[in-house]
Structure 1
Amino acid sequence: MTLKYQQILVAVDGSKEAEWAFKKSVGIATRNNATLNLVNIIDTRSFAAIEAYDRSIADRAQKFAEDLLADYKKEAVASGVQNVNIVVDYGSPKTMISRDLATKVHADLIICGATGLNAVERFLIGSVSEHIVRSATCDVLVVRTDDAPSDLKGRAEDNQNPTA
């Protein structure tokens, strides 16, 4: 077992949580001299019915993903990450990230943002990050923003070690 990560997969979707996950991934990739794989999965379930009538929706989603990842790649390279790959794919983020893409890039760490889904939504559809944690075969880091609920912040502050 190695204590150094070599292939880091970070899932980004334009959310604040994903941005924080990206920022953490840059630091980890830099410290480990690892390859950073920036991934955006376009969830086809979210626009499948509409897309049948208007093909431009898929094109706009593709353009958004490519622009987002290109911006993140520039930022990662400027921060010292030497190897950055970009992956835009279509499907279910839940299965694509933890199974298909993690295997494809030989990921030894997956980083994603925590979701903002409420308890009812999680019960009905489940969160992407929760599914990744349960199904991934490598380490997973779920990143929360500073906007986490105050009860979570209190617990995190209680557990912080200022000398770490």
Structure 2
Amino acid sequence: MEQKYSRILVGMDGSAESLKAFDEAVRVAKRNDAELILANVIEKRSFLAVNTYDTIAEEQHENGTKLLLQQFAKEALDEGLTNVRTLLEYGSPKVAMATKIPKQENVDLIVIGATGISYIERVVVGSVASYIVNHATCNTLIVRK
């Protein structure tokens, strides 16, 4: 018997891996008549190198991220889903996607793309996908290349 999901979280960052995760999340949401939550987490620390008086880069990134989420929400609705939301958070993508968002949104499935970084990069900086698998508070589906 297949498990029934009611709230599905998909991490969207515009990468090829997240696009594959989106496609799979839409399929699972349709099959379960579930709510789809499209999320992106902006890590503010990535903007520390930018001059503190110049917030243009941060604003452009935030606006671009909002647009990305809105475009994919529209695509999900065009695919026949009726309950789609977008969520933009700030902080650690690892923690937010693994624990914070699933708890606050009562998520029962997280769909994420497999990491696109190399083994060496994964050892040095870690992988959001790996972290989520090891720390998620609900079921996790990793969509591979």
TM-score range, shorter chain: over 0.9
Unaligned stretches of 5+ in structure 2?
none
Please state how far the C-alpha of 1:51 moved relative to its aligned partner: 5.3
Q: How does 1:60-139 map to 2 (within 5 A)?
A: 60-139=60-139
SS at match of 1:141: strand
Which residue is equivalent to 2:58? 58
Which residue is equivalent to 2:48? 48
Please state how far the C-alpha of 1:45 moved relative to its aligned partner: 2.2
- The runs of 4+ residues in structure 1 deviating greater than 2 Å are none
- The residue type equivalent to 1:126 in the other structure is G
Partners in 1 of 2:143 and 2:51 — Cα distance? 32
Partners in 2 of 1:77 and 1:59 — Cα distance? 27
Is 1:23 the counterpart of 2:23 in the alignment?
yes
Is 1:6 the counterpart of 2:26 in the alignment?
no
Q: Between Structure 1 and Structure 2, how many residues are aligned?
A: 144
Please state how far the C-alpha of 1:48 moved relative to its aligned partner: 2.1
Name the Cα RMSD after superposition. Answer: 1.2
SS at match of 1:86: strand
Which range is displaced more, 51-60 or 131-140?
51-60
Partners in 2 of 1:86 and 1:53 — Cα distance? 29
SS at match of 2:42: strand
Partners in 2 of 1:35 and 1:5 — Cα distance? 9
Partners in 2 of 1:130 and 1:31 — Cα distance? 26
- The residue type equivalent to 1:75 in the other structure is E
Q: Which has the larger radius of gyration?
A: 1
Task: State the TM-score, normalizing by the size of structure 2.
Answer: 0.95
Aligned in 2, Cα 1:41/1:51: closer, same or farther, shift over 3 Å?
farther
Identity over the aligned pairs, expressed in percent?
41
SS at match of 1:102: helix
Task: State the TM-score, normalizing by the size of structure 1.
Answer: 0.84
- The residue type equivalent to 1:106 in the other structure is N
Please state how far the C-alpha of 1:92 moved relative to its aligned partner: 1.0
- The residue type equivalent to 2:38 in the other structure is L
Which residue is equivalent to 1:158? none
Partners in 2 of 1:42 and 1:51 — Cα distance? 18
Partners in 2 of 1:101 and 1:51 — Cα distance? 30
Which range is displaced more, 43-52 or 26-35?
43-52
SS at match of 1:110: strand
